Amino acid sequence: MIKDNLLEIKNTLPEHVTLVAVSKTKPDEDVMEAYTAGERIFGENKVQEMVGKWERLPKDIKWHMIGHLQRNKVKYMAEFVDLVHGVDSFKLLSEINKRAQQHNRTIDCLLQIHIAEEDTKFGLDKDELDLILKSDEYLNLKNVNVVGLMGMATFTNNKEQVRREFQQLKSIFDSIKSVNPRIKILSMGMSGDYQVAIEEGSTMVRIGSSIFGKRNYK
Ligand SMILES: *Cc1c(COP(=O)(O)O)cnc(C)c1O
């Protein structure tokens, strides 16, 4: 069924939209079922869990860190992580840069923008984003590449509110993209709202439960 869900979703995505299959809490067998069906990009929100899966599973998988990230965990994934979605401070970006440098690589990152009503969701506002992108300290980070933005809408059935929040993120994305040619990824949309996100300009959707089924948190 994972295979069917995956292929059904992939078939509906426009060509310019990349799927991240969110496998958090799910066992290796589930990841392998999606892998066998052709999926190569997987998203996790806990560093330890992602490291374990990276160690055990095929090495051509691209691992995306999509969750809130603590600075002291960056070192464990710096060797292999493909894209970090939720960077919400300069300090974190700077730590990712330091750890990437130790592995002689450059890590692609998305800056997380706060668009939801709930204040439980992390992220920067537009002013904080501009401050980071314009600072000399940022320009001196040679081992991180900020390639776009990420955001999460409010968890609500109100589709119009979700749409407005995605529009807000898209307009911030457009404004920084126009002055920075490296900015190309807009990560927005999950199982419940990815169609709206795509209508509003998403280029990357993070979908978990619609592919793998409900998660069991113990
Ligand atoms: C869990 C998670 C997702 C996927 O959520 P679903 O509703 O299961 O699709 C997407 N983005 C982030 C940041 C997540 O933590």
Q: Please, what is the end-to-end C-alpha distance for the chain in angstroms? A: 23
> What CA–CA distances, in Å, run from 146 to 177, 181, 192, 209?
11, 10, 27, 28
How many whole angstroms from 7 Cα to the centroid of ligand 1? 18
> Angle at Cα 69 formed by Cα 208 and Cα 114, nearest 5°?
75
> Angle at Cα 30 formed by Cα 14 and Cα 110, nearest 5°?
50
Residue 51: count other Cβ atoms within 10 Å of its Cβ: 18
Q: What pLDDT sits at residue 117?
A: 83
Q: What pLDDT sits at residue 118?
A: 76
Nearest atom within ligand 1 for CA of residue 194: 9
Query: Domains in the chain, start-ordered, CATH in brackets?
Result: 2-210 (3.20.20.10)
Q: What residue type is 16 in one-letter code?
A: H
Q: What pLDDT sits at residue 218?
A: 57
Q: What pLDDT sits at residue 179?
A: 92
Q: What pLDDT sits at residue 116?
A: 86
Nearest atom within ligand 1 for CA of residue 150: 13
Q: How far apart are CA 47 and CA 118, in angstroms?
A: 24
- Six-digit token pair at 63? 């691992």
177 and 183 in contact (C-beta within 8 Å)? yes
Q: How far apart are CA 59 and CA 54, in angstroms?
A: 7
Low-confidence ranges of the chain (pLDDT < 50): none
Residue holding tokens 């589930």? 30
pTM for this predicted structure:
0.96
> Angle at Cα 20 formed by Cα 211 and Cα 87, nearest 5°?
130
Q: What pLDDT sits at residue 216?
A: 76
Residue holding tokens 């292929």? 7
Residue nearest to atom 12 of ligand 1 (CA): 66
Q: What pLDDT sits at residue 50?
A: 98
| Helices assigned H by DSSP within 66-158 | 74-77, 90-102, 126-134, 136-139
Evaluate: CB of 192 within 6 angstroms of ligand 1. Answer: yes
Ligand 1: which of 6, 18, 50, 66 to mutate, most ligand atoms within 8 Å of CB? 66
Q: What residue type is 40 in one-letter code?
A: R
Question: Which has the closest alpha carbon to 140: 148, 150, 132, 129?
Answer: 132
